[in-house]
Structure 1
Amino acid sequence: MEKKMKKHKVIFRILLIVICCMCFTVTGYARAGGGGSSGGSGGGSGSSSGSGSHSQYYGQGGRRGGPVEMIIWWGTFICMAGAGTIVFHYGIQKAKRKSLRSMKSFEKPGEEWNPKKMKKYVKHAYFVIQECWRRQDTSYAEKYLSKNLIQNWNSKLGWMEVNHEKPVQERVRFLNAAPVFAFDKEGEEHDRVIYLIHGRMIGYYINIDTGEVVRGKTSPETFYEYWVFIREDGRWVLDEIRQKDEVDVKRL
């Protein structure tokens, strides 16, 4: 009996580690922009949730839960995670349909709103912008970046240089891009379109003196990001990158 309980305890600890890994967001992204700053707070809430579940599993007075309780708890977690994914993709599809209708209605001479051409442009911009971050040189993608974003990124890249850090990107892939918001007004200063970018890459940072990995992962990661494009000097440029957990498409 005691061996059984020890085995269940080991299994539970392994599951808890897996859950924590899923909940925590890595802040060392080597993709363009370096990832969102909100990842730390998201990870914090995930950690609290995991701790709460841990205490409930053992119960009051240190009582251990049996295998049935563990299976129920794990099954509930999987169902909740699956439901969250379904809700996310449903919201994206709804926002995409609305945005495509808007973009088609905005089409006019001198302003590029054609959905097919825009997606092609976004895909091309994605690779150029990722490369500019890898090179630590915003001038490489200056045609695709807003003035404000160039200034912001130059500050970030400057700190990386001071810290002797260099981003490494491998197997950079563009999986998809879906418009989730589009706005057009007289003139170009208010024009805005937001794309949900789905990409994949290996991204991490190394110390340029030692070659040691200091941040990020050396294994492939799939990610979602919201890329905000505005019109500046007659062309579409990237103005901001927001992480998946930073945007509620229902409020756009």
Structure 2
Amino acid sequence: MPLMQRLSANGILALLLAMLVLAGEEAHARAGGGGGGRGGGGLVVILYPLLLVYAGIVTWLLRRKSREARAALALAARDKAWDPDELKARIEQVFFKVQNAWTLRNQDLARDCMSERLYRKHKLQTDQMIQDGTRNILECVNLSKATIVEIADFRDNAKDRLWACMEGSMIDYHIRLSTGAVAKGSKDKPEDFSELWKFIRTPQGWVLDEIDQSVDLSDLMGFKSIVE
């Protein structure tokens, strides 16, 4: 693509990203610290056509990256660790264990599913909840889709990684344990989520290493599946 066309495309994407940020601000909850509802009111209505365009581009990129990842998985099939069915089962197992550990404020329940770095990060966050006398309740947790959007299969297995787009819904709210009052979120209304989860390969298997709680164009455009 010529330089001017690239600059023009990047400018449009930057504008769409800025519009999306202005349209609504997230209050944080959910495993890893995201979610909890959006605001934005009239601005969302005004920017709705642009948001539809943005959502369409994100959906198209997700499908494209998913196709690229599936093609790479076929090449990596010689290694049992890249078996698509086993990956799917592991990703789903990790997802539900991590959410359960978060809402129970006990990261040891999912320690076998997280890297040491992420375990310590989540433990710090949930220990703070214990100290503050709050709890982030996650109920009716539904993972409707887990789409692998990037794989990196290196000769050195310790460098292997994958990214998956996690989509679903859950009821997500905070309570103050002293009173039982809801401090944030809704006990009745499920909210949709779309997140990017990074998994790394360890001698014990695949573990979660990072949660990116927004799926944006810059993330998706940076994904490139490789097989050495």
TM-score, scaled to structure 1: 0.72
Provide the C-alpha distance between the structure 2 equivalents of 1:134 and 1:155, rounded to a whole number of angstroms: 14
Do the aligned partners of 2:194 and 2:215 also contact (CA within 8 Å) in 1? no
Corresponding residue for residue 74 of structure 2: 104
- SS in structure 1 at match of 2:117: helix
Change (3 A) 1:181 1:244: same
Provide the C-alpha distance between the structure 2 equivalents of 1:25 and 1:232, rounded to a whole number of angstroms: 36
Corresponding residue for residue 184 of structure 2: 215
Q: Does 1:150 align with 2:149?
A: no
Provide the C-alpha distance between the structure 1 equivalents of 2:103 and 2:68, rounded to a whole number of angstroms: 34
Corresponding residue for residue 131 of structure 2: 162
Provide the C-alpha distance between the structure 1 equivalents of 2:106 and 2:116, rounded to a whole number of angstroms: 14
Change (3 A) 1:24 1:78: closer
Provide the C-alpha distance between the structure 1 equivalents of 2:143 and 2:78, rounded to a whole number of angstroms: 28
Corresponding residue for residue 34 of structure 1: 33
Corresponding residue for residue 54 of structure 2: 84
Alignment of 1:20-59 (within 5 A): 23-29=23-29, 31-35=30-34, 50=43
Alignment of 1:182-221 (within 5 A): 182-218=151-187, 219-221=189-191
CA deviations 1:68-121 (Å, max 9, x no partner) are xxxxxx5x7332222111111000000000011112212234x41112221122
Corresponding residue for residue 249 of structure 1: 220
- SS in structure 1 at match of 2:71: helix
Corresponding residue for residue 14 of structure 1: none
Which amino acid in the other structure matches residue 79 of structure 1?
P
Structure 2 unaligned spans of 5+: 1-18, 224-228
Q: Is the radius of gyration larger for structure 1 or structure 2? A: 1
> Stretches of 4+ moved more than 3 A in 1?
none
- SS in structure 2 at match of 1:202: strand
Larger relative helix fraction: 1
Structure 1 unaligned spans of 5+: 1-18, 54-73
- SS in structure 2 at match of 1:80: helix
Corresponding residue for residue 85 of structure 2: 116
Do the aligned partners of 2:196 and 2:215 also contact (CA within 8 Å) in 1? no
Residue correspondences, number: 202
Q: Aligned Cα RMSD in Å?
A: 2.8
Q: Displacement of 1:245 after TM fit?
A: 4.4
Which amino acid in the other structure matches residue 32 of structure 1?
A
